[in-house]
A and B are shown apart, each in its own frame.
Chain A
Amino acid sequence: MEPIIRAEQVQKKYREDGNVVDALQGIDLSVRAGEFSAIVGPSGSGKTTFLNVISGLDTLDGGRVWLGGKLISAMTGSELSDFRRDNIGFIFQAYNLIPVLTVEENIEYIMLLQGVPREERRRRVEDMLGEVGLSGMQDRLPTRLSGGQQQRVAIARAMVSRPQLILADEPTANLDSRTGADLVDMMAVLNRKTGMTFIFSTHDRMIMERAHRVITLKDGRVEGDESKGP
């Protein structure tokens, strides 16, 4: 199967207090469409940096990245924004919903940017809320939801525009273990159902156990790459 992500000799350096830190040191990696993968490693190993560069949130200092056959490391500005909007869904550790928008408005935001008609947006939001178990909560503000419910909204927001790839950074880190397990199970189901590719950056053993593939980073290099199959 054609890889959805192909990273070639990806390098990233940071300057901190006058010192240059090699965050990523020539990573070569391919991810196939539909994978449910976890990138693991100790703090500072480069997990978040890798997700940032493969999604175009951060620039590369060397190497190239293709996403869905497009060389995103050559894209700039609005081109990258549009590409992320249409192809990548993000799930953040701290949910990061817009607090002044209702659940429905948070979820429909990306579709609004895409120019999806209002009726279509409403229908997809309703469907998505059903998928994540939050039917009837579209008018609530995020502040009136529990952490687990907020993360479900974040998952709905990431998936509603039907991107090719979902990137999730420590999505269970702020949740209790049972809520986290429920969410990961739900994402696994959605992965099977939709065929969307999920890549997690995580320390969570539970995610590692459920992932089809576990990529281990250490000091900005791939130290291990274990496939378990779906």
Chain B
Amino acid sequence: MPRTGFFIKLAWRNMLRNKRRSAIAASAIGIGLAALIFTDAFIAGMKNNMIHTATASFLGEGQIHARGFRTTQAPELTIRELAQVTKKLKDERRIGHFALRTVASGMATSPAEARPVMIYGVDPENERYLSQVDDTIKEGDFFTGEDLRELVIGAKLAKDLQAGLGSWIVLTCSTAGTGEISQELFRISGIYEFGIPEMDGGMAFIRLGMGQRMLGAGTEVHEIALKFVDSRDAGRKGLTLWQDLSAAGNEALPWTELLPQLKGVFDMTSAFLAVTGLILFTIVTFGIVNTLFMSFYERMFEFGVLRAVGTRPSAMRKLVLFEAGALAVLSLGLGTILGLALTAVAARTGIDYRGIEFAGATVRDLIYPQLSGRQFLIYPAAVFIFTLVVALYPARAAGKLNVAEALRRSL
């Protein structure tokens, strides 16, 4: 043990011997670590942003339908025992808001063009809590008047229909049960723009009562969108709430199941993080190997002396590993402080990628990197272990040193 303590002391002093080189190497490794921490935090923030964009735009953090509706979109598949379901939702403390909707596939026709659309009958007052359609209105209003024939559509659909605010549009759909064609005339009272092509070009919003009338659905609805008090609850599939709300032929699902495509996007971001990590670790590898070998070759004679006076090859390897460990500790200190500072600042100010389209969705809010303890445990530990693993190469060279060759200039 005293030998180990002595070698650790020697390693630290050697590492601090060429302060400039050690500082450069530690900075390079530290910057790599800080970049890893920041990238992880940024991706976590981006995920949150995407989840928020996906759920807050219109979907909600969970939805209830009659079983089979999601796959068939059959108008007669309305939510079973609606009164009991809404009562449960009102009594459930985790649910902050919910909104009832009718949903129908149909056609929007202007004097100039016709386009297929999803027609949503919504309750404007509750819908404000569930979706951001009202926040993205660029012309007109989101159901402010008393007119039952108000229609809110996306900018792309308005353009496709060659229509504008005040234009008259005919919506057509099939009625529930009979399948007869139902048509109603509406006036465009609001035009929104999300930046999501499917939403801007394929959806039309009317009042809930008009939706029910067109579908002949009485007071029934097809969809209830949910918003939780704590958004994190929405992703917890194990909550009994989902089973409770799935009774009587209904199906209640969290957003994670409603948007399985997001998982693919998250897998992609994880792959991106892995590639970034690989690149950074490769850079770090060269930094460590270069530093240790420079130090080794510079002190070749000294290493030769240590070997000559009786230091075993294993002790030489240990010394190089301890020097790598000292370099890693310096780097971790720098990297964690830099990573923390950089991420904390960005987490406060946000990063502006608004307007950039990613995975089919336009980023609408600032991205706030998410700090977590994991970033300051896993990555520093990985860099430390990685540094030691990389140092095995120069350590092996130190152990295999040809003593006579190293001492050639003298004894």
Contact = CB atoms under 8 A, between A and B. Distances in A.
A112 B312 contact: no
SS of B interface (majority):
helix
Contact of B310 (A51, A58, A86, A91): A86
A168 B308 CA distance: 12
A170 B311 CA distance: 23
A107 to B, nearest CB: 11
Interface size class for chain B? 20 to 34
A29 interface: no
Contacts of A92: 305, 407, 410-411
Interface string A85-106: 1100111111010111100010
A110 B307 CA distance: 11
Nearest to B314: A78
A177 B30 CA distance: 51
A98 B311 contact: no
Contact of B308 (A78, A84, A100, A112): A84
A100 B410 contact: no
A33 B378 CA distance: 60
A140 interface: no
B6 A51 contact: no
Given A81-B311, A84-B308, A84-B309, A167 B2 contact: no
Contact of A93 (B2, B312, B313, B411): B411
Contacts of B410: 48, 92-94, 96, 169-170
B10 A96 contact: no
Nearest to A158: B309
A56 B10 CA distance: 26
A18 interface: no
Interface in B300-358: 301-302, 305-315
Contacts of B17: 99-100
A192 interface: no
Interface size class for chain A? 35 or more
Contacts of B307: 81
B201 to A, nearest CB: 71
Contacts of A168: 411
B403 interface: yes
Given A58-B404, A112-B2, 7 more contacts: A52-B407, A57-B403, A85-B309, A101-B13, A112-B6, A118-B2, A157-B309
Interface of A: 48, 51-52, 55, 57-58, 77-78, 81-82, 84-86, 89-94, 96, 98-101, 105, 109-110, 112-113, 115, 118, 157, 167-170, 201
Interface of B: 2-3, 6, 10, 13-14, 17, 301-302, 305-315, 403-404, 407, 409-411
The 5 A-B pairs with the shortest beta carbon distances in the complex, nearest first, are A85-B310, A169-B411, A58-B404, A100-B13, A93-B410
15 contacts: A57-B403, A57-B411, A77-B312, A81-B310, A85-B311, A90-B411, A92-B410, A93-B410, A94-B409, A96-B410, A98-B305, A100-B14, A113-B3, A113-B315, A115-B3
